Chain A
């Protein structure tokens, strides 16, 4: 943490909550909430990549979208560059949009099929700048160069491209307004492995060139290990652990992180995989999370207190935050 304090906190998320209401019955009464993100706190320093990992449906994508205020959040605060945007109405948020952009998961669905590449990459320029046609075209071509797309493709439509090229279009669109912060919402999940490497390397190059800060959402642990500086592990709408990458992969603290890391496939058949932590059962429903620790229903080292009270998310070692009763001094004594 000591060397990190020198850096500037670009994003500060505190106790972020995103609940989706459920309405049922003939009167459409409010019967509950899907607690997709339920009290998440993390900081992202300028120029770093925070990897956000977790299994499907744990609220990673929702968290990324809520940080960008694509949803109206239920509670908590989000600060970008020290400016609070948690409560800002959408039309005022519009002016701040250039600083924060997003790369989407499905490159096919995230591009309007009826717009040319030039139109798609130029849309943010239309919205936020007053360039004339010629300047705009020059800027679009510059962006296409930056992401490695041939300039002659600018009149083509998204369906004429391969998945990797489409993702490059999406990245070019996100870069158009010179953002500081980009949320990459599983940008590689829909691509095949050889293309994944290309796109990740492209993202890294761009980070170096433009000094970008990423929130990199993924369920691919090895890819996150490659790109992220710090990693946050999410489980059922809450952050289980945040730690610098190497420390997390070398010595995971939270039992869920241990289980997650031990599930990474080992390519060498000679290496033993016998000490795998196999989790039993399913993820509880986010509409009705268990009392106490969210992970208590599946935790291999569950204690009595885990079923009683929610563990505090606290810094147990410098730079390492864990939400687990095992690392709580008071409970460790018992």
Chain B
């Protein structure tokens, strides 16, 4: 008790986000991952302004070239510059990956928290989740794209329309695992005494979820998020591969990868570049998620 007299000035309450950032900075992997992710984002955003070669410019005389000064990543079978294509494809792939992940995360967390917290909605929502898990994805995609492609194209233009379609299709078909994990965690959290304590204070359900439940289910949500970006990028490439996604002259990392598989024996580097881009992005996102999860948990923070 003696030190109360000496330290009369008490610190103002620190913002929790300052603590989170302090902890995040100490996680080396997360910092490298974050730096790399920012680098990739900047590269695909501003790169095409510096590397002014058109990704769809066909120079048939320069086809199937290896890496050179003129074409650092080489060219494809039509003589298009692979570097320019990877840059242009990264924009779409990253945007699709992040947006679809956010959509899936939002849906999954919403369904999971509501199902776990409100007992009456648990059974219907979980049966809905089972239903979505049981849906055969590819036929479903075919039907959705058949039904909505032309309307969306007419409404938002061919590229934005397809973008909305692809993102929502991926988001709607990949929220189920998040929902299940979140529901399980919410069920166990709900029985904790601090939730009872909050109820004895008179905290209404809405704030109970936001203040007590959600911060404590952050870890599984983070893990789902990092894995979700990877799955979304891969699924987008699968959709494009089937010819249901973006038009064939519109490069994305997934499409570049699937286009080059035929030429793998001839020009292995053509598979390597987009593959490397996808893997490194996913890896950096994983590390960011890892660091964020640690930083958000005050029990790990400061260790």
Contacts and interface: CB of A to CB of B under 8 A. Distances in A.
Do A and B pair up? The answer is: yes
Interface of A: 65, 68, 70, 91, 93-95, 97-98, 100-102, 104-106, 109-116, 118, 123-124, 127-128, 137, 141, 148, 150-152, 154-155, 157, 159, 170, 173, 177
Contacts of B118: none
B202 A127 contact: yes
Contacts of A128: 201-202
Contact of A97 (B1, B11, B192, B200): B200
23 contacts: A68-B200, A70-B196, A97-B200, A97-B201, A100-B200, A101-B200, A109-B192, A111-B197, A112-B212, A114-B298, A127-B202, A128-B201, A137-B12, A137-B13, A150-B1, A151-B10, A154-B13, A155-B14, A157-B301, A159-B298, A170-B197, A173-B197, A173-B201
A186 B16 CA distance: 32
A127 B201 contact: yes
A106 B191 CA distance: 13
B193 interface: yes
A137 B14 CA distance: 12
Interface residues of B, number: 32
B7 interface: yes
Given A137-B13, A157-B298, A127 B194 contact: no
A150 B201 CA distance: 24
B122 interface: no
Given A123-B198, A155-B14, A114 B297 contact: yes
Give the interface centre of B16, B202, B215 by most chain A CB atoms within 10 Å: B202
Interface string B229-251: 00000000000000000000000
A124 B193 contact: no
B277 to A, nearest CB: 36
Contacts of B7: 152
Contact of A110 (B197, B203, B298): B197
Contacts of A151: 4, 10
Contacts of B299: 113, 157, 159
B28 interface: no
Given A154-B13, A159-B299, A106 B193 contact: yes
B13 A102 contact: no
B65 to A, nearest CB: 55
Contacts of A102: 197, 200
Which 9 A-B pairs rank lowest in CB-CB distance, beginning with the nearest? A97-B202, A110-B193, A157-B298, A109-B193, A94-B202, A114-B215, A151-B10, A112-B194, A102-B200
B225 to A, nearest CB: 18
Contacts of B216: 112-114
A123 B298 contact: no
B212 A127 contact: no
A70 B193 CA distance: 12
A137 B10 CA distance: 10
B112 to A, nearest CB: 18
A155 B7 CA distance: 15
Nearest to A108: B193
B204 interface: yes
